[in-house]
Amino acid sequence: MIKVRIPTPLRPLTKGQGEVETTAGSVVEMIETLNSSHPGIKDRLCDETGELRRFVNIYVNEEDIRFLKGKETSLKDGDEVSIVPAIAGG
């Protein structure tokens, strides 16, 4: 299983859960799987072309996927994924 940490603003989509478990061989697969169990989450993470939105980062075991293989970054059993929203304010 892969643990995925969900940031506060996305928790309404996961019924309030801060962490969900999933199985997937890559980040892109993980996003699809999450979207099946938590509809709407993909739209929050990816734009119309499927690219990661500029105000979201995904970390696999504390490493930014933008420095790995992006959405194609592979995942294996026991990996921990963090979805990180942009630093923001007003």
Partner 1 sequence: MKRKIESDVDLLVTNLVIPQHILDDMIAHARELAPHECCGLLAGTGGVVSRIYRITNIVAMEGAQNLSSFDPAKAAHLERLSPEERAEIAFVMDMQDFSTAKKDMRNNGLDLQVVYHSHPHDPARPSVTDIKIATDYEEIWPKINLPIPAYLLISLMHAAPDVRSYWIKSGQVSAAPFTVR
Catalog residues that contact partner 1 under the rule CB under 8 A: 5, 7-10, 12, 43-45, 53-57, 59, 62, 64, 66-67, 82, 84-90
- Of 35 and 44, the one with the shorter C-beta distance to partner 1 is 44
> How many other C-beta atoms are found inside a 10 Å radius of the C-beta of residue 30?
24
Q: Edge to edge, what strands does the sheet with 63-64 contain?
A: 19-22, 2-5, 80-85, 56-60, 63-64
- Of 28 and 56, the one with the shorter C-beta distance to partner 1 is 56
What's the closest the beta carbon of residue 32 comes to partner 1, in angstroms? Answer: 18
| Paired tokens of 47 | 């734009």
- Of 26 and 44, the one with the shorter C-beta distance to partner 1 is 44
Please tell me the distance from the alpha carbon of residue 28 to that of residue 30, in angstroms, as a whole number.
Answer: 5
- The one-letter amino acid at 32: E
What's the closest the beta carbon of residue 51 comes to partner 1, in angstroms? Answer: 11
